[in-house]
Amino acid sequence: MIGISLNVNQHQYHIQVSPWVSLLDALRDHLKLTGTKKGCDHGQCGACTVLCDDRRILSCLTLAVMKNGANITTIEGISGENELHPLQQSFIDHDAFQCGYCTPGQICSAVSLLKEGKAKTREEVKELMSGNLCRCGANMGIIDAIMEVKERGLYE
Amino acid sequence: MNNFDYIRASDIDDALASLNTHDNGSFIAGGTNLIDLWKYNLLHPDLLIDINHLPGHHAIEEIEEGGVRLSAFLTNADTAYHPLIEERYPLLSKAILAGASAQIRNMATNGGNLLQRTRCYYFYDPDAPCNKRNPGSGCSALNGYNRIHAILGASENCIAVFPSDMCVALAALDAVVNVTGINGERNIRFEDFHRLPGDTPELDNNLKRGEIITSIDLPAKGFAKNYSYLKLRDRHSYAFALVSVATGMELDGDIIKEARIALGGVAHRPWRLKEAESFLQGKRADEHSFAAAADMMLEGAKGFKYNSFKIELAKKAIVRNGLMALDPHSQLPGAQPSA
Amino acid sequence: MSTQPTVGKPVSRLEGKLKVTGAAKYAAEYDVPGLLHGYVVNSTITKGKIVRVDTGRAKAVNGVIEVITHQNRPKLAWFDLQYTDMDAPPGVVFKPLYDAEIKYNGQPVALVVATDFETARYAATLVSFEYEEEPFETCLDNNLEKARDAKKGFATILRPPPPKPTGDFEGAFKNAPVKVESEYWHGVEHHNPIELFATTTVYEGDGKLTIYDKTQGTINNQVFVANVFGLHFKDVRILAPFVGGAFGSGLRPQYQLFLCVMAALLLKRNVRVVLDRKQMFSFSHRPQSVQRTRFSTDENGKLTGLNHSAVSETSQFEDYTEQVVAWSHKLYPAPNTLFEYKLVPLDVHTPIDMRAPGGVTAMHAIECTMDQLAYKLNLDPLEFRLRNYAETDPSTQKPFTSKALRECYQKGAEKFGWQKRNPTPGSTIRRNKLVGYGMATGMWDAYQFPARMEAMITKEGKLVLNNAVTDIGTGTLTVMSQIAADELGLPLEDVTFNYGDSKKPFSMFQGGSSVTASTGVAIVVAAKTLKKKLFKKAAGIKNSPIAGASEEDVIFKDGNIYLRNDPTAYVSFKDIISLNNGRAIETTNMGAPDVLNLRKYSKAAHSATFVEVEVDKDLKIITVTRAVTAVAAGKIINPKTARSQILGSMVWGISKALHEETIMDEKLGKYINTNLGEYHIPVHADIHELDVIFADEKDTLINELGVKGVGEIGLVAVPAAIANAVYHATGTRITKLPIHFDELL
């Protein structure tokens, strides 16, 4: 076991983990933050997307010990206490999900996408969101939801 | 999915020295392929040496003779979006952005990109015969489902392809790989870095055990005016290439002064043919010339039951990408064919 | 009186906030004390026997509690029948860890239970099996000569054998002036919901279990667990409040449930078992099928003969069947028909329903054949269909309860701009792209199953409903709440719909686009009874403001019962309950289809899909640039969630047409692309402009709500429409799905 500290959603956690525990499993099993989802555990679906030091990464493909000292934001920390992040509201408004399982990953990915500022057009948004699969086929709603927030500048 | 020890290396020497403390130690940087392979029970490291935090190794800098040096530890995203790369080596930028997903590019490093393993289905199945994974066990792909496999440079022992996009551009750019090992530093020309399978398909490249890739040098010539990366696959993004092409050209009017063409998704390493590039010198940059070069590049290509289409596809891709390189703005997100 | 009706309004999902904040909990996400983690070991051979098991190395790992194999498993039910479930096809159910026999590759052979997930996963790699291998057959194409009729059984009720021939098909086809004969093929597909199959079993003691499971049928799995493990029904509770997609894969209890419960009972501990993505390919799939069609018409384009035959794979132990070959004659009149359906048993797991089972398979063949005929007749494909429009069901001669397919054709074509189509294939070019238009018709059954609804008015004057049904992402919670709110005249926030719990009154599994009709009608019935009871109480109150009124004289609104003619005279629900000594007024009722009346009719949802594709002129890469699907499915309770169902189905159609397939290596006898990197489902970059139209289809016959269900109808026409568009773009007819773009080179 290795003692590590993770700043998750601006809360400092000190936990003991085996080196082989993925960041995803550490979040879900150790910190009980189950908002981050496991869909493939191999970097092929994007459901486990979190922000690490403000960048979107796949928490299934990294080890918790490798993120010792890092700042992690999960879906539980995207918004303030009692309000929704504009993207969360936009996802609801556009019915950008059905089963909801890929949703936290889609939203975390989109938060990062908007911060990165690399996607200018709808086609570019689609391309840069393509690491997040949605099996319910809510793709149009997801992109609509992101475009609305992007076009209205509702993000920092 | 075995258990392993973990340490964070403080510097290169520490990393190299740590390797010898275990039988099967391995460096880990981005980890996007290593963790994936470990979880499939295909890699069994007993020690992971984290080389993400080595001091002074995360830059892109200009080097003598007008070139640029990419740190091996820098992420693919930081490389692709770096102003120097976007401006002087847009071909590399485009190729990187055609690979994986935004999340993975935020994790994967340049060094790791060179070292990723094949995506052959059978390599990924620990119970299937595979000479690359288990030398001597046979090649399941040879007479199996080989849609994604090699048409050039394959052997009876292995028809796997190297999956990188970034490396296709690096090959076209004549990059040089700088490595450090216990026995000192050396430089490997990109064309000498990856291997063809031959009789030893278990070896993907010529990096020796105990060596770390520290940086990649790009020579001055970046083909920033006329370049294109085209990637053809079974969906429009987030899939490995069936065929990809990196093209860079220097033009004098509509005459080709110099051309570079590298193919991805067709062989055990990025595929270039100097003869075809020389042939293009002095020719008009048009469909006809590109088609002739494409024929040369695919001469001797051998298809299997499910992938013979790649020969024709690669030829057409070379032609289209040549035309796209004349008008780099015709490139679409995801390295799709021009509209 | 402010409450407005919600039915027909685009209400946002009521559970939306839980889903966008990560607060929605799925089966693997319940934190219970002392939880043990199970990891499944799967067979690496396709057929044969286990001759030796070595669990020693695994057991020696620190943290491993037990390794369960067929050798040391606890005693199980003896009779095959006890393993059956509501969706079990005829045959013998597969029983995990039952004996040494291996029936298919990837069959579960052991469960490793450890104190943490990682230890279980690691130890699972140390369990070793020695097998005696036997020859196997996993390739449908190589075994077509083994095709035979399907066995009949309980599940056959919903999947009748092919209809009897009518007229003289062979004679008619032989002499027909216009005819088309072709063969269609599609590969195996796996449902691949993004949530991994998972079960968390809470061992409550005294033989009681609380089980969080990924399922489409809480009661189906409750019955299964109780039967197999010899428990009382009431002691087994299955909870599935959130299900991360299922698409049919959750219609039957899957093996992680069985193994998880087995371990919990054996160890008397709380246990969780989560499958990995590779294991998601080790049970249940859409079967590979080979279809042959021969359709003929007269000179005027009237169909004279329909022959559709299909051969599908099934397992060696169960005869899974789909309704494939009957559709053409439900859609188009023809005097001469001939339908055949056969199965080839292979050494694979039993297929299971996957979104629009049979229908989407069939419609690919039928609607591509219709497209070919249209070209032969030199008719617009839409005009050809209109010439063969069936006002009554040609296969039964019965009228439809409603059929607004004509409106779907018209509105869909108009929105899409179908009239701009140049009929000549390969004639429309947009810079580097060949542009193709294609259309197809869709049809899906309108099922309704019995369901029981418990409804009560609480002392707060609010409505609480209880039913065992799940919401797998379809919008069930929202839709049911809307139906209930309107029935009682309450605002949505005063309605609580409790679901996803086997302890609640009966519901069938959530499949076949049946839930809105089944559970929704149960709400209507329960609400009616509840209103009667409320009215009776209210009218009986001393000095009741509505005393002397009859039920027809009052309206229910805003939690009050008003006199229709005098809105100042009312009794509130709260007052009624308070005068009932604070006891809730409640009722439990069964909603069921009016079978006697419905026997006189045919019932179906219809659709028409119009697609534009671009095919790169050199590289042949295919893009579905836009698509319109017009749907006639009765009343639409919630146009927002219903639209999402259709959009999702259209994405599935694109996926089926162009992307997804599970590849069987016939030499190894196993699927080889068992991951989401190589099993391609569309990414955002693949999905462009999709549009949905709902036809105005009033149906007063089908059920009290006039609904038909929208979970599947949006999918059925899409693959054929895409294949037809690819033909129109290129002049090349690809009859295999998914279409590999390179086949156009």
Any domain includes A75? no
CB-based contact, C21 to chain A, within 8 Å: yes
Any domain includes B25? yes
Handedness of CA B143, B144, B150, B151 (dihedral sign): positive
CA of A129: which chain C residue's CA is closest? C684
Q: Which two tokens stand for residue C272?
A: 């969780």
Q: What is the mean predicted confidence (pLDDT) over C461-484?
A: 98
B278: which residues sit within 8 A by CB, 6+ positions away? none
* Whether residue C455 is found in the same domain as residue C603: no
Any domain includes C711? yes
- Asked whether the beta carbons of C58 and C124 are under 8 A apart, the reply is yes
Interface of A with C in 110-129 (CB under 8 A): 123, 125-127, 129
Any domain includes A80? no
Q: Which two tokens stand for residue C518?
A: 């089944």
**Ordered per-residue pLDDT tens for chain A, 156 residues:** 999 999 999 999 999 999 999 999 999 999 999 999 999 999 999 999 999 999 999 999 999 999 999 999 999 999 988 899 999 999 999 999 999 999 999 999 999 999 999 999 999 999 999 999 999 999 999 999 999 999 998 775
* Whether residue C577 is found in the same domain as residue C639: no
B73: which residues sit within 8 A by CB, 6+ positions away? B29, B51, B52, B54, B57, B58, B109, B110, B111
Any domain includes A136? yes
* Whether residue A66 is found in the same domain as residue A91: no
Domain assignment of residue A47, given as a range: 2-70
Any domain includes A64? yes
Query: What pLDDT is recorded for position A156?
Result: 58
C721: which residues sit within 8 A by CB, 6+ positions away? C367, C438, C439, C440, C609, C610, C611, C627, C653
Q: What is the total count of domains within chain B?
A: 2
Q: What is the total count of domains within chain A?
A: 2
B265/B247 Cα distance (integer angstroms): 15
Task: Judge: A38–C690 Cβ closer than 8 Å, yes or no.
Answer: no
Range with the poorest average pLDDT among B265-274, C170-179, C545-554: C545-554
Handedness of CA C638, C640, C643, C649 (dihedral sign): negative
First to last CA, chain B: 45
Judged against a pLDDT cut of 60, whether residue C1 lies above it is answered with no
- Asked whether the beta carbons of C636 and C699 are under 8 A apart, the reply is no
Q: List the CATH number of the domain containing A92.
A: 1.10.150.120
Query: Which strand (E) or helix (H) includes residue B315?
Result: helix B309-326
Domain assignment of residue C519, given as a range: 16-22+449-592
C372/C301 Cα distance (integer angstroms): 12
How close C618 gets to chain B, by Cα (Å)? Answer: 7
What DSSP character marks residue C31?
-
Any domain includes B199? no
CB-based contact, C354 to chain A, within 8 Å: no
Query: What pLDDT is recorded for position C154?
Result: 79
* Whether residue A99 is found in the same domain as residue A51: no
Q: List the CATH number of the domain containing B328.
A: 3.30.390.50
Task: Judge: A61–B36 Cβ closer than 8 Å, yes or no.
Answer: yes
* Whether residue A41 is found in the same domain as residue A101: no
Q: What is the mean predicted confidence (pLDDT) over C359-371?
A: 98
Choose the mutation target among B101, B119, B121, B236 for the interface with A, i.e. most A CBs under 10 Å: B101
Least CB-CB distance to A138: which of C25, C648, C685?
Answer: C648
A80: which residues sit within 8 A by CB, 6+ positions away? none
Least CB-CB distance to C682: which of B1, B235, B310?
Answer: B235
C716/C194 Cα distance (integer angstroms): 22
CB-based contact, A76 to chain C, within 8 Å: yes
CA–CA–CA angle C435, C441, C447 (5° rounding): 145
Q: What is the total count of domains within chain C?
A: 3
Any domain includes B26? yes
Alpha helices by DSSP H, C111-254: 117-124, 169-175, 218-229
C-alpha distance from residue C247 to each of C145, C251, C277 (Å):
31, 9, 16
Average pLDDT, chain C: 97
Of C475, C466, C554, C449, the C-alpha closest to C505 is: C466
Q: Which two tokens stand for residue C674?
A: 């068992």
Q: Which residues of C touch A139 (CB under 8 A)?
A: 651, 682, 684, 686-687
B152/B161 Cα distance (integer angstroms): 9
AA letter at A100 = G
Q: What is the mean predicted confidence (pLDDT) over C521-528?
A: 98
How close A73 gets to chain B, by Cα (Å)? Answer: 14
Least CB-CB distance to B31: which of A63, A112, A127?
Answer: A63
Cis peptide leading into residue B129 (ω within 30°)? no
C662/C655 Cα distance (integer angstroms): 12
Domain assignment of residue B281, given as a range: 226-335
B98/B33 Cα distance (integer angstroms): 17
Any domain includes B177? no
User: Can you tell me the ipTM of this complex?
Assistant: 0.99
AA letter at C180 = V
* Whether residue A111 is found in the same domain as residue A51: no
Query: What pLDDT is recorded for position B178?
Result: 98
Around Cβ C618, how many Cβ atoms within 10 Å?
17
C105/B249 Cα distance (integer angstroms): 51
Any domain includes A79? no
Any domain includes B35? yes
**Residue C151, by phi and psi: left (phi above 0), alpha (psi -120 to 50) or beta?**
beta
* Whether residue C263 is found in the same domain as residue C327: no
Beta strands A49-52; A71-73: pairing state: antiparallel
Label residue C157 by pLDDT band (50, 70, 90): confident
Cβ neighbourhood burial of C372 (10 Å; 0-12, 13-18, 19+): buried
Range with the poorest average pLDDT among B75-89, C70-84, C342-356, C390-404: C70-84
- Asked whether the beta carbons of B315 and B295 are under 8 A apart, the reply is yes
Any domain includes B78? no
Cβ neighbourhood burial of B22 (10 Å; 0-12, 13-18, 19+): middle
Task: Judge: B235–C680 Cβ closer than 8 Å, yes or no.
Answer: yes
Handedness of CA C363, C368, C371, C377 (dihedral sign): negative
C551/C546 Cα distance (integer angstroms): 10
Around Cβ C147, how many Cβ atoms within 10 Å?
19
Of B13, B52, B19, the C-alpha closest to A68 is: B52
Any domain includes C5? no
- Asked whether the beta carbons of C690 and A140 are under 8 A apart, the reply is yes
Q: What is the mean predicted confidence (pLDDT) over C633-640?
A: 98
Query: What pLDDT is recorded for position B56?
Result: 76
Query: What pLDDT is recorded for position A62?
Result: 98
* Whether residue A97 is found in the same domain as residue A65: no
Any domain includes A52? yes
Label residue C84 by pLDDT band (50, 70, 90): confident
Query: What pLDDT is recorded for position C78?
Result: 67
Q: Which two tokens stand for residue B332?
A: 């679409």
Query: What pLDDT is recorded for position B225?
Result: 98
* Whether residue C480 is found in the same domain as residue C364: no
Beta strands B243-252; C560-563: pairing state: unpaired
Beta strands C208-213; C236-239: pairing state: parallel
Q: Which two tokens stand for residue B68?
A: 């640029």
Task: Judge: B235–C44 Cβ closer than 8 Å, yes or no.
Answer: no
* Whether residue C275 is found in the same domain as residue C181: no
As separate numbers, helices (DSSP H) first and strands (DSSP E) second, chain C gives 17, 29
- Asked whether the beta carbons of B190 and B156 are under 8 A apart, the reply is no
Query: Which strand (E) or helix (H) includes residue C130?
Result: strand C128-133
Q: In this predicted model, what pLDDT tens digit does every residue of C223-255 receive, in sequence order?
A: 999 999 999 999 999 999 999 999 999 999 999
Choose the mutation target among A29, A51, A98, A142 for the interface with C, i.e. most C CBs under 10 Å: A98
C419/B8 Cα distance (integer angstroms): 66
Interface of B with A in 76-115 (CB under 8 A): 77, 81, 100-104, 106-107
Task: Judge: C125–B1 Cβ closer than 8 Å, yes or no.
Answer: yes
C-alpha distance from residue C686 to each of A104, B240, B276, C203 (Å):
21, 15, 34, 45
Q: What is the mean predicted confidence (pLDDT) over C420-433?
A: 97
Q: In this predicted model, what pLDDT tens digit does every residue of B149-164 receive, in sequence order?
A: 999 999 999 999 999 9
Task: Judge: A38–C118 Cβ closer than 8 Å, yes or no.
Answer: no
Any domain includes A57? yes
Q: In this predicted model, what pLDDT tens digit does every residue of B190-233 receive, in sequence order?
A: 999 999 999 999 999 999 999 999 999 999 999 999 999 999 99
As separate numbers, helices (DSSP H) first and strands (DSSP E) second, chain A gives 5, 5
C51/C64 Cα distance (integer angstroms): 24
Task: Judge: A63–B48 Cβ closer than 8 Å, yes or no.
Answer: yes
Any domain includes C213? yes
* Whether residue C233 is found in the same domain as residue C115: yes
C511/C250 Cα distance (integer angstroms): 9
Query: What pLDDT is recorded for position C83?
Result: 80
Choose the mutation target among A72, A95, A106 for the interface with C, i.e. most C CBs under 10 Å: A95
Find chains touching chain A: ≥3 CB pairs under 8 Å: B, C
Any domain includes B212? no
Q: List the CATH number of the domain containing C679.
A: 3.30.365.10
Q: What is the mean predicted confidence (pLDDT) over B86-115?
A: 98
CB-based contact, A140 to chain C, within 8 Å: yes
* Whether residue C640 is found in the same domain as residue C726: yes
* Whether residue C722 is found in the same domain as residue C634: yes
Any domain includes B221? no
Q: Which residue, A16, A45, A70, sits at the end of a domain?
A: A70
How close A75 gets to chain C, by Cα (Å)? Answer: 6
- Asked whether the beta carbons of B216 and B178 are under 8 A apart, the reply is yes
Judged against a pLDDT cut of 60, whether residue C693 lies above it is answered with yes
* Whether residue C518 is found in the same domain as residue C425: no
* Whether residue A60 is found in the same domain as residue A101: no
Any domain includes C431? yes
* Whether residue C524 is found in the same domain as residue C391: no
Q: List the CATH number of the domain containing A21.
A: 3.10.20.30
* Whether residue A19 is found in the same domain as residue A52: yes
C510/C499 Cα distance (integer angstroms): 12
- As a whole-number percent, the residues of chain C with pLDDT over 70 amount to 100
* Whether residue C521 is found in the same domain as residue C663: no
Q: In this predicted model, what pLDDT tens digit does every residue of B309-330 receive, in sequence order?
A: 999 999 999 999 999 999 999 9
The SS3 assignment for C198 reads strand
Judged against a pLDDT cut of 60, whether residue C621 lies above it is answered with yes
Strands, E, within C106-164: which ranges? 108-114, 128-133
Phi, psi of A63 (to 5 degrees): -95, 145
Judged against a pLDDT cut of 80, whether residue C80 lies above it is answered with no
Around Cβ C163, how many Cβ atoms within 10 Å?
15
Query: What pLDDT is recorded for position C85?
Result: 87
C616/C730 Cα distance (integer angstroms): 10
Task: Judge: C668–B128 Cβ closer than 8 Å, yes or no.
Answer: yes
* Whether residue C569 is found in the same domain as residue C457: yes
- Name all contacts of C95-99 with Cβ < 8 Å and 24+ positions apart: C96/C255, C96/C258, C96/C259, C97/C68, C97/C69, C97/C70, C97/C73, C97/C259, C97/C262, C98/C70, C98/C73, C99/C70
C228/C250 Cα distance (integer angstroms): 18
